[in-house]
Structure formats: C-alpha cells, structure tokens
C-alpha cells in the first residue's frame, strides 16, 4: 500500500497491532496484546488511519507485513538486533519503565542505550514523516517514543502533533534522577498536546517542566510556554470498548457450578503489577481467616512479557516458587489454593473468567490506568463480583466504588479480600452498578474523541507574566540590594528585523528603560554584539551603560571607557577580512563592520545560496585567524580574545561596585542567544538570568521568557517594584 493522502490520523507507537515472529514454520503473524493495542486498534478500524510501528522481527526480502484484509495500513519501522537490545530492552524497559513506575532501584542508566533510543526515536519520526501528508493529526504513543515529537517537528514544522503517555509520569524527585531528564521533556514539548491518564501525572509533568526547564507553566489551565509555541497538557482517562466486553460476557457459556469462590488476577507478568505481593496477601488471608480454606481459590493468569530480560525471568522464578510454597503449605487432597496459568488466553476465555469470578484482585504497585479492572467490571452481567483495586493504579482515581487497597500493605489487602468475599449481594450490586455506569459512559471511543478534540483545540496562549510571577522569581532576591540590570539588545529589547538598522526600540520599552534607570537603587546596562556606537545610538538614553562588540568595548556612567587591550592588534586584520568577505557578497548579502568584530549577513540573498555563502564566510573567517560563529542568516567574526559578554559583565560589576560587589549588588540579566549563555554561566548563583525566545535549545539561564513582550513586562515590574 502506498502513502495515502486521505488518512485522518497517523498513529506512531513502538509496536504495531500485529507482531511477527519467526519459527520453524516460517514467519507468523499474530495480534499484539497489551493495553495500548486494546485501545487504539478499534479506533483505527472504525475511523481509518495509518499505524507506524515495529513489527517485532526483521522482514526478509520479498516478505510482506500487510494482508489484503487489513482494516488499515500498517507501516513497519525496522530495528537491528542491537537496537532491540539497547533502545527497547535497555532504555525503554530497563530505564524508563521502572523509573516512571516509581521503582528507581530497578532502573539502569546507560549512555549507549540512550544513544540508541535517540537514533530509533528519530527513525520513527522519519518513517512517519513520509506518511504524514494530509494527516489531520500525528498521534505519538507511550514511553518508548518520548523524543519522537521533537524529531518529527524538525522535519514537519507545521504538523499537528499530539502525544499520549500510557504509563504514569513520575514525580519531579524521581524524574530528575534521569541523566537525560531535560532532553526527554524537550522531546515531548514539540507536541501541541501532551496527554496523560490522570491529573496527578499531568501535574508531575508540569512541575518537571517548570523546575527543570525553567519554563512558564499555568498549572490550572495546563498550558506551558515553550518559546513561541504553547503546549497544552491535559488528562484523558482511557476507557475500554465496554459493549464488546459486555456482549462477550453475555455470550459465553454459563459457569459450571463450582465448589469454591474464585479470586481472579490477570496481568502481563511484570514486577509493577504486584503479583508477588498479591500472592502473599492471599496467603495471609488463609492464615487470618481459615474459614476460607478449601472454599476459595486464587486464579492468577500471567501473560508472558519481556521474557528475554533477566529481571523478568527472575520474577517468573520468584512467582513459581511462591505459588509452589503457598500451595504446598495449604493444599488438601481435593483443593489447591492457587491456580496459576502462565500463558495468554483467547478473548472469549478471558471474558468467561471475568464473568465467573467472585472477586478481581488487581494490585499493581503502580499502573498508568489498568484496563483489566475496567474489563472485569464490564463483564459483570450476571451475579455481581467485587473489584479490589490498588490505590496506586490510575484507574483508582475514578473507580471509587471499588475496594481500594495499598498493595504494599499485605495485611490490609488480605482484609480487603475477606471483605469482598463476605460482602452481601445488595452491596455488591450497588457498587458494580455504579462502576458499570461510569465505564459504559467513559468508553474508549469517548477517550479517543476527547483526545482528538483536545488536539484540534490546542493552541491557547499564556498572558505575559504577571507581577506575582516576577515577585516569585526576583522579588525576594532583590529585597535590600542594589539592582544591576543587564539586557541584550536584539531579540531581547527589540524584535529581530529584516535589517539590523530596522530593529528599533518600541516607545513602551524605551519608557520602561528610562523608568528603571531613573531609580536610585537600579543601574541599567545594555550588552550587545553590535558595535558600541551602534547600540548606544539605537537606544540613545543617557544614564545607561553600553557594552558593544560582545563586551570588548564598554562605556557609561560610573566606568571609564574600556576597550580590550588586545583589540588594536586585530583592527587592521579585521579590515582586511572585511575586504575579503566583500568579494563573497552577492545581491542581498553584506558585511557589517563593527570596529572590533564584523558580521557577514546573507538574510536577503537567494535562499539556494545560503549554505554556500555561510560555508565560504566561515572558511575565510577562520583562515584570517578569527573565531567564526553562526547566527541567524549571518556569520560573525570575532577576534580570538578570551573575552565574552560574561567577562564584560563581571568586569563592569567589579569596576563599578568594587571587588566585594556581591555583598550589596544583585545582577539580573536577560538575553536571547548563544552569546548570552556566557553571562548565564558566570552569574549562576550570583544573579537571576532569563533566556528569551526559542525554548528548543538547552540553556543555563534560571528562567525562560517567551519574547520581547515578556521582557517589557519584567522591566515594567522592575520599574515600579
């Protein structure tokens, strides 16, 4: 099948809804299991779309994944054996999975695995990009693909991208254990909408963004300011295909009369599912309440999962032993307390188990949502069973009529099972009726539709920061101190214009600067890459200090004019370089001489020439013994003097306020580009720093501000504080 332009939704998930495996019989294809496939397969079947994912094995020459009767196209992403190890078993399942489930002791951190994760995430984005033409939405799923939205945004800047995480998002204190914490956050923030199962996970994510990326977050509306873009964060609790489970339960054969009551556990065999704790709680039940012996069985279905990973093999051994020990301890001639099945069952058989069980004991240590709890409820079409559910599953947020337990509390869980087994029919019925009503309404269709509507609606904007925010960022910090306020010019005080000469200061900004500078407890300095003459003309205000040429020249109140002593040596050579670069100029390219440095601009030249112009300029600049630095449609040449904006700011502080300046002066700095990072670094801990504009690049600033308007809001605050 070829890429279609009519697909409304493009789903990207680690796994395709079918899994291929190779055996002596050749290539086999079966339906994938797990919560994600259960949720999305019906959606694409009904509405159409395309699914991009890993098929589970490598296809050989001539082999086909697709079949003519497939309800929608599936596009395979190939992984090498080493990528399966590092990206999938490694970073996804041995790092992110335990950490996101708040089990940090199990998490392994390995740089090779991270590198592979990045490579594979990029590949998913590249494959998806080929199929994204005409798609209304690209919907990326789950923890294996946290970086994919960013890679996709780079290829398709205008695509509508949404992301949903199927597992919990951990609290800040755990998330920051990851050496790649910021990279993962930036990966997700390339999406327009980021969805989680419950509000708690969304709040954790917002807190991480606020604290680790220093971006503005509105916790009530779930909006994040990410440079010029705004990202919407929201909870969308997933549901199930309720009717399907209900109908299947009604269709299956009537239960054969049994002697014992059945307590049911159904999980992928995974340490997060709390199977060992559950077995111990059941053992405790038989100790505490001997009356249940020979009258109750625990039927535990464990579906094989990740069985090539040693931790999962070890878990399997642990559970085998536990089952053996408990059965050995309590079994009588006609009764074994635990029936343990290590396999997957067909859906009809699963429905029968759900319907015929008296209690569902679902005790994950942490779980994004847990669909089994919902499937059990939907299957109670006959004698109502009781749901005993872990408080630590996302499902517990809404399924309040279940008996909620702490899975780590073995005695408490045993007590809850006893209560469930002895609950009278009236109470069982009233609980299950309420649970069923909610799940019927909040089915998987509603989940998908609300998410899609959320993705369409995403795009709100935060108002510029309010005084209360600046109070939190700098209020206390400045109290009782003199303020030394430093500001970059282009992109910080003035919007970037087509030509540098057109980047004027707005009247509002000029007024705010004047009002700041006229305060006795505040000094203002402008630190720019422009020449000193140029920047002081652009601003044109008297009581302000100016540092031009990235701080090589400084002049202003309280300081003698400063020109870096090595500059003279380079002036002559800089003029020669300027003449050389003039020869590279074509229409729309020009050389801006700034005395101590120069900039080669090509913003208005024919776009097909941009790369060539930049490369040639860089080559000439380096050959002349200058440092070259790429800027937006421009290449800068600076003398190779170990002096930058950071040195300049420290020089000003020392000269103006003395070597012990930090006892009485507090610097605040705002800048929008790479050269400002030098100041952020030297002022870290000593001042408060703000990076303005694009949020995709790493910064050491204390906070990020979206744009020039936010800088204006800050100056107005500082002027009237």
- Give the range of 252-260, 366-374, 406-414, 540-548 binding ligand GDG by CB under 6 A: 366-374
Name residues contacting ligand GDG, limited to 99-128 (CB under 6 A). Answer: none
One-letter-per-residue 3-state SS of 501-559: HHCCCCHHHHHHHHHHHCCCCEEEEEECCCCHHHHHHHHCCCCCEEEEHHHCEEEECCE
User: Which residues on adjacent β-strands are paired with residue 159?
Assistant: none
Number of residues that bind ligand GDG (CB under 6 A): 24
Does residue 357 touch ligand GDG according to CB under 6 A?
Answer: no
- Minimum CB separation of residue 33 from ligand GDG in Å reads 5
Does residue 79 touch ligand GDG according to CB under 6 A?
Answer: no
Please identify which residue in 198, 209, 298, 369 interacts with ligand GDG, judged by CB under 6 A.
369
Q: Taken in order 301, 305, 310, 312, is the CA torsion positive or negative? A: negative
String of contacts with ligand GDG for each residue 246-285, x by CB under 6 A:
--------------------x-x-----------------
Give 318: exposed, middle or buried? Use CB within 10 Å, 0-12, 13-18, 19+. Answer: middle
Q: At what angle do helices 181-188 and 148-155 cross, to 10 degrees?
A: 50
Q: Which active-site residues does the annotation give?
A: 488
Please identify which residue in 358, 375, 553, 702 interacts with ligand GDG, judged by CB under 6 A.
375
- Give the range of 277-285, 363-371, 415-423, 541-549 binding ligand GDG by CB under 6 A: 363-371
* E strand segments, 576-709: 590-593, 598-601, 627-631, 634-638, 665-671, 688-692, 703-705
Give the strand order in the sheet containing 634-638: 590-593, 598-601, 634-638, 627-631
Does residue 350 touch ligand GDG according to CB under 6 A?
Answer: yes
583 Cβ contact list (under 8 Å, min separation 6)? none
**How far separated are the first and last CA of the chain, in Å rounded?**
64
The residue with its CB nearest to ligand GDG is 35
- Minimum CB separation of residue 127 from ligand GDG in Å reads 23
- Which of residues 39 and 478 has its CB atom nearest to ligand GDG in the complex? 39
- Give the range of 28-36, 253-261, 317-325, 626-634 binding ligand GDG by CB under 6 A: 28-36
- Minimum CB separation of residue 268 from ligand GDG in Å reads 5
String of contacts with ligand GDG for each residue 38-77, x by CB under 6 A:
xx--------------------------------------
One-letter-per-residue 3-state SS of 36-92: HHHHHHHHHHHHCCEEEEECCCCCCCCCCCCCCCCCCCEEECCCCHHHHHHHHHHHH
Gap between the Cα atoms of 95 and 462, Å rounded: 34
Q: Taken in order 105, 108, 114, 120, is the CA torsion positive or negative? A: negative
Gap between the Cα atoms of 650 and 479, Å rounded: 21
- Give the range of 40-48, 343-351, 475-483, 558-566 binding ligand GDG by CB under 6 A: 343-351
Does residue 609 touch ligand GDG according to CB under 6 A?
Answer: no
Q: Which of 317, 288, 293, 302 is nearest to 413 (CA)?
A: 288
- Which of residues 300 and 699 has its CB atom nearest to ligand GDG in the complex? 300
- Which of residues 13 and 532 has its CB atom nearest to ligand GDG in the complex? 13
Does residue 398 touch ligand GDG according to CB under 6 A?
Answer: no
Please identify which residue in 4, 8, 27, 33 interacts with ligand GDG, judged by CB under 6 A.
33
Name residues contacting ligand GDG, limited to 144-203 (CB under 6 A). Answer: 166-167
Name residues contacting ligand GDG, limited to 285-304 (CB under 6 A). Answer: 301, 303
Gap between the Cα atoms of 666 and 198, Å rounded: 42
Please identify which residue in 20, 96, 372, 535 interacts with ligand GDG, judged by CB under 6 A.
372
Please identify which residue in 36, 135, 298, 682 interacts with ligand GDG, judged by CB under 6 A.
36
Does residue 361 touch ligand GDG according to CB under 6 A?
Answer: no
- Minimum CB separation of residue 305 from ligand GDG in Å reads 8
- Minimum CB separation of residue 480 from ligand GDG in Å reads 51
- Minimum CB separation of residue 27 from ligand GDG in Å reads 22
For residue 198, is it left (φ>0), alpha (ψ between -120 and 50) or beta? beta
Gap between the Cα atoms of 12 and 128, Å rounded: 7
* E strand segments, 197-313: 217-218, 223-226, 229-235, 261-268, 296-303
- Minimum CB separation of residue 529 from ligand GDG in Å reads 49
Q: Are 364 and 273 in contact (CB under 8 A)?
A: yes
- Give the range of 85-93, 284-292, 367-375, 705-713 binding ligand GDG by CB under 6 A: 367-375
- Give the range of 33-41, 576-584, 629-637, 671-679 binding ligand GDG by CB under 6 A: 33-41
Does residue 35 touch ligand GDG according to CB under 6 A?
Answer: yes
User: Could you give the angle at the alpha carbon of 550 between the alpha carbons of 549 and 552, nearest 5°?
Assistant: 65
- Which of residues 51 and 562 has its CB atom nearest to ligand GDG in the complex? 51
String of contacts with ligand GDG for each residue 218-247, x by CB under 6 A:
--------------------x---------
- Which of residues 231 and 448 has its CB atom nearest to ligand GDG in the complex? 448
Q: Which of 533, 530, 563, 557 is nearest to 643 (CA)?
A: 563
CB-CB neighbours of 361 under 10 Å: 30
Q: Are 552 and 567 in contact (CB under 8 A)?
A: yes
Write the DSSP string, 629-656. EEETTEEEEE---S--HHHHHHHHHHHH
Report the interface residues with ligand GDG, using CB under 6 A: 33-36, 38-39, 166-167, 238, 266, 268, 301, 303, 344-345, 347, 350, 367-372, 375
């Amino acid at each position: 099948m070829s890429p279609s332009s009519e697909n409304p939704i493009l789903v990207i998930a680690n796994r395709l809804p079918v899994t291929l495996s190779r055996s002596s019989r050749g290539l086999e294809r079966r339906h994938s299991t797990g919560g994600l496939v259960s949720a999305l397969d019906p959606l694409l079947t009904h509405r159409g779309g395309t699914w991009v994912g890993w098929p589970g094995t490598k296809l050989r020459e001539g082999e086909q994944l697709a079949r003519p009767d497939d309800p929608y196209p599936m596009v395979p992403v190939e992984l090498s054996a080493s990528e399966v190890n590092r990206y999938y078993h490694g970073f996804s399942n041995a790092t992110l999975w335990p950490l996101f489930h708040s089990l940090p002791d199990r998490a392994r951190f390995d740089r090779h695995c991270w590198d592979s994760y990045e490579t594979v995430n990029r590949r998913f984005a590249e494959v998806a990009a080929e199929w994204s033409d005409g798609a209304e939405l690209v919907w990326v799923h789950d923890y294996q693909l946290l970086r994919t939205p960013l890679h996709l945004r780079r290829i398709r800047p205008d695509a509508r991208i949404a992301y949903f995480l199927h597992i919990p998002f951990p609290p800040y204190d755990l998330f920051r254990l990851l050496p790649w914490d910021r990279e993962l956050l930036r990966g997700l923030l390339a999406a327009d909408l980021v969805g989680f199962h419950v509000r708690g996970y969304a709040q954790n994510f917002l807190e991480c963004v606020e604290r680790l990326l220093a971006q503005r977050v509105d916790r009530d509306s779930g909006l994040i300011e990410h440079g010029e873009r705004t990202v919407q964060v929201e909870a969308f609790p997933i549901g199930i295909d309720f009717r399907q489970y209900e109908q299947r339960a009604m269709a299956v054969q009537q239960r054969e009369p049994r002697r014992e009551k059945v307590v049911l556990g159904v999980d992928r065999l995974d340490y997060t599912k709390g199977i060992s704790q559950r077995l111990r709680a059941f053992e405790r039940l038989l100790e505490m309440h001997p009356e249940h012996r020979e009258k109750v069985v625990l039927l535990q279905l464990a579906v094989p999962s990740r069985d090539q990973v040693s931790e999962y093999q070890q878990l399997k051994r642990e559970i085998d032993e536990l089952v053996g020990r408990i059965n050995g301890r309590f079994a009588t001639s006609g009764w074994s307390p635990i029936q343990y099945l290590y396999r997957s069952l067909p859906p009809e058989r699963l429905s029968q188990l759900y319907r015929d069980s008296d209690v569902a004991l679902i005790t994950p240590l942490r779980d994004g949502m847990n669909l089994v709890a919902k499937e059990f409820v939907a299957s109670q079409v006959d004698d109502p069973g009781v749901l005993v559910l872990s408080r630590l599953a996302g499902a517990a947020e809404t399924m309040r009529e279940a008996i909620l337990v702490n899975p780590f509390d073995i005695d408490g869980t045993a007590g809850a099972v006893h209560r469930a087994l002895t609950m009278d029919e009236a109470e069982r019925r009233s609980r299950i009726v309420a649970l069923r009503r909610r799940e019927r309404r909040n089915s998987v269709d509603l989940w998908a539709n609300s998410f899609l509507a959320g993705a369409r609606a995403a795009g709100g904007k935060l108002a510029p920061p309010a005084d209360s925010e600046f109070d939190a960022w700098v209020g206390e910090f400045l109290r009782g101190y003199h303020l030394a306020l430093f500001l970059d010019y282009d992109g910080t005080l003035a919007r970037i214009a087509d030509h540098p000469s057109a980047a004027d200061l707005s009247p509002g900004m000029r007024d705010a600067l004047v009002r700041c500078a006229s305060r006795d407890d505040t000094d203002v300095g402008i630190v720019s890459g422009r020449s000193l003459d140029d920047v002081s003309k652009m601003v044109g205000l008297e009581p302000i200090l100016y540092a031009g040429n990235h701080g090589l020249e400084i002049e202003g109140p309280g300081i003698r004019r400063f020109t870096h002593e090595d500059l003279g040596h380079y002036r002559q050579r800089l003029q020669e370089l300027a003449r050389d670069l003039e020869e590279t100029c074509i229409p729309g390219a020009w050389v801006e001489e700034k005395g101590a440095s120069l900039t080669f601009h090509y913003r208005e030249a024919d776009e097909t020439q941009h790369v060539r112009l930049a490369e040639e300029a860089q080559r000439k600049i380096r050959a002349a013994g200058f440092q070259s630095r790429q800027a937006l449609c421009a290449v800068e040449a600076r003398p190779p003097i170990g002096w930058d904006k950071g040195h300049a700011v420290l020089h000003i502080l020392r000269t103006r306020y003395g070597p012990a300046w930090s006892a009485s002066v507090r610097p605040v700095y705002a800048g929008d580009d790479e050269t400002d990072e030098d100041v952020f670094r030297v002022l870290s801990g000593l001042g408060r720093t703000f990076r303005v504009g694009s949020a995709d690049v790493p910064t050491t600033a204390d906070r990020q501000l979206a744009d020039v308007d936010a800088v204006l809001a800050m100056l107005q605050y500082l002027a009237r504080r």
